[in-house]
């Protein structure tokens, strides 16, 4: 089912743990969806000097978070922000199709930790209080992109608005089978 690289990261995940004095913390997913990841980063001179993560999830989710942590370590903030879910999956030698959604959380959680770090720094600079965390708006894995009804991301149709889904060929998130544009990445589907 999984590539050797995925199994290696699953069996020996790198950088597992928490961080007492993290500069940024990011969390994605929730146990209801089946996957949840927390990333902690320490930043020195605009570089990710240390990274730790914790993951509740399947083999793919654990391997993805481990790979993200490895890819992020030592990178500048700008470089780390360029890590995409696709590049992580690629680095892992591919993931089973039905597990691609697990990989969506990995890079997102890291980016959230970076955002958290940037916000904290901004707040420090302008000596304001830390702004309240933004409401999570793109929790794609748990809501229909069209009606916001609850989905797990793998159904063939939405229970609430009955739109039939297929995976977007670009970002692999669920999109309306009949639509031409993906609501997540805007990719246009070639008409067959």
Q: Which is nearer to another protein, 57 or 174 (CB)?
A: 57
Q: Tally Cβ neighbours within 10 Å of residue 143.
A: 17
Query: Cβ 154 to another protein, closest distance in Å?
Result: 6
Cα–Cα dist 140/152, whole Å: 9
Residues that bind another protein (CB under 8 A): 10-11, 13, 16-18, 27, 30-32, 34-38, 54-59, 61-62, 98, 152, 154
Query: Cβ 114 to another protein, closest distance in Å?
Result: 18
Q: Which is nearer to another protein, 46 or 98 (CB)?
A: 98
Q: How many helices (H) and strands (E) does the chain have?
A: 5, 5
Helix (H, G, I), strand (E, B), or coil: what is residue 42? strand
Query: Cβ 175 to another protein, closest distance in Å?
Result: 19
Measured in residues, the chain has a length of 192
- Are 167 and 174 in contact by the 8 Å Cβ rule? The answer is yes
Buried b (16+ CB within 10 A) or exposed e, 156-182: eebeeeebebebbeebbbbbbeebeeb
Q: Which is nearer to another protein, 13 or 145 (CB)?
A: 13
Q: Which is nearer to another protein, 16 or 77 (CB)?
A: 16
Q: Annotated catalytic residue: which of 102, 158, 171, 182?
A: 102
33 noted as active-site residue? yes
Question: Residues 173, 174, 180, 185: what is their CA dihedral angle, to the nearest 10 degrees?
Answer: -30
Radius of gyration (Cα) for the chain, nearest Å? 17
Query: Cβ 158 to another protein, closest distance in Å?
Result: 14
Q: Hey, which residues are catalytic here?
A: 33, 102
């Amino acid at each position: 089912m999984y590539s050797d690289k995925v199994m290696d990261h699953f069996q020996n995940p790198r950088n597992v743990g928490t961080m007492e004095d993290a500069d940024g913390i990011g969390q994605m997913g929730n146990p209801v969806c089946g996957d949840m990841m927390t990333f902690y980063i320490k930043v020195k001179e605009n570089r990710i000097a240390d990274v730790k993560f914790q993951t509740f999830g399947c083999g793919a989710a654990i391997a993805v978070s481990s790979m993200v942590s490895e890819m992020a370590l030592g990178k500048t903030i700008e470089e780390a922000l360029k890590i995409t879910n696709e590049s992580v999956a690629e680095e892992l030698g591919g993931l089973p199709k039905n597990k691609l959604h697990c990989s969506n959380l990995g890079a997102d959680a890291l980016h959230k930790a970076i955002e958290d770090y940037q916000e904290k720094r901004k707040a420090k600079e302008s000596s304001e209080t830390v702004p309240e965390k933004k409401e999570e708006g793109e929790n794609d894995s748990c809501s229909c992109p069209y009606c916001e009804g609850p989905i797990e991301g793998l159904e063939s149709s939405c229970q609430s608005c009955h739109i039939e889904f297929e995976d977007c060929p670009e970002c692999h998130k669920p999109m309306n089978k009949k639509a031409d544009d993906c609501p997540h990445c805007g990719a246009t589907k070639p008409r067959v």
